[in-house]
C-alpha cells in the first residue's frame, strides 16, 4: 500500500511563508498557508490515508486542530533533507510499498496527482513533481534513497536539477509529473488565485 506523507510547519504567525509575508504581511501569509494546507490535505485524503510529518515537535495539537484526523509524527533531523530521509526510512521500515512525500504549499495538488505518482512508481524507482521555482512539490520512491536528500541546496533553484543528476548517478530510473506552482510570493499567489481563497 502506498504511504503518503504530508510535510508541514505548524501555522504560527511569522513561522511560515516568510517570503510571501514580505509581500503581503505575516497575518495574510499565515491565512494563505492555512488555506493551502487544508485544501491539499482534504483533497488527497479523499483517496489516501495521510501521515502528517510536522515541525516543531510540540505542535501536534495545533496540527490536529488545523488539518484534522490523520496520523501525526514529528519531523526529525537538522535540515529538510535529513527530515525527509528519516521519514522515508521510517515508512519503508513499517511496510512494503512505495512512499510519496508532498508539501502543503502547492494548492493544485490533489488525489489524482498522487494516483499518477503511484502509477509511475509501478515502472520507475523515483517520481518527481517539478515545481516552477526549480524545486519539487512531490517525490516518490520505491525504496530508500537517502543520497537524494543529503547536502541539497534546499530553497534554491537547483533542487530539481541536482536530484535528477543524483538519480542518474545512482542508476535509479526516474520519471516526472506535470509541473506545478508552489506559492512562495505574491506573484505566485496571484497566479494561483483560482485555488487559493
How far is 176 from 129, CA to CA, in rounded Å? Answer: 6
How far is 163 from 104, CA to CA, in rounded Å? Answer: 20
Q: How confident is the model at residue 197 (pLDDT cuts 50, 70, 90)?
A: low
46 has pLDDT over 70: yes
What are 149-196's pLDDT values in tens digits?
Answer: 999 998 878 999 999 999 999 999 999 999 999 999 999 999 987 767
pLDDT at position 54: 98
84 has pLDDT over 90: yes
C-alpha cell at 31: 491565512
Tell me yes or no: is domain 3-190 CATH 3.40.50.720.
no
Domain locations along the chain: 3-190
Tell me what percent of the residues of the chain surpass a pLDDT of 70. Answer: 98
How far is 60 from 73, CA to CA, in rounded Å? Answer: 8
96 has pLDDT over 80: no
Q: Is it true that the peptide bond before 56 is cis, omega within 30 degrees of 0?
A: yes
pLDDT at position 188: 94
Mean pLDDT along residues 91-97: 88
Instruction: Please name the helix (run of DSSP H) or strand (run of DSSP E) that holds residue 83, with its range, or none.
Output: helix 80-94
Task: Tell me the β-bridge partners of 72.
Answer: 52
Amino acid at each position: 500500500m502506498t504511504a503518503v506523507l504530508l510535510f508541514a510547519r505548524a501555522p504560527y504567525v511569522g513561522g511560515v511563508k516568510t517570503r510571501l509575508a514580505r509581500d503581503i504581511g505575516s497575518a495574510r501569509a499565515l491565512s494563505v498557508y492555512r488555506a493551502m494546507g487544508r485544501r491539499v490535505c482534504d483533497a488527497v485524503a479523499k483517496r489516501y490515508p495521510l501521515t502528517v510529518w510536522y515541525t516543531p515537535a510540540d505542535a501536534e495539537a495545533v496540527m490536529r486542530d488545523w488539518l484534522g484526523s490523520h496520523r501525526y509524527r514529528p519531523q526529525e533531523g537538522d535540515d529538510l533533507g535529513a527530515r525527509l530521509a528519516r521519514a522515508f526510512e521510517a515508512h519503508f521500515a513499517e511496510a512494503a510499498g512505495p512512499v510519496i512525500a508532498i508539501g502543503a504549499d502547492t494548492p493544485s495538488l490533489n488525489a489524482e496527482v498522487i494516483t499518477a505518482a503511484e502509477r509511475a512508481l509501478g515502472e520507475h524507482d523515483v517520481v518527481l513533481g517539478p515545481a516552477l521555482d526549480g524545486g519539487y512539490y512531490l517525490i516518490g520512491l520505491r525504496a530508500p534513497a537517502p543520497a537524494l536528500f543529503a547536502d541539497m541546496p534546499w530553497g534554491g533553484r537547483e533542487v530539481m536539477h541536482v536530484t535528477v543528476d543524483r538519480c542518474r548517478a545512482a542508476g535509479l530510473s526516474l520519471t516526472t509529473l506535470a509541473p506545478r506552482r508552489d506559492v512562495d510570493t505574491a506573484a505566485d499567489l496571484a497566479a494561483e488565485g483560482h485555488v487559493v481563497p
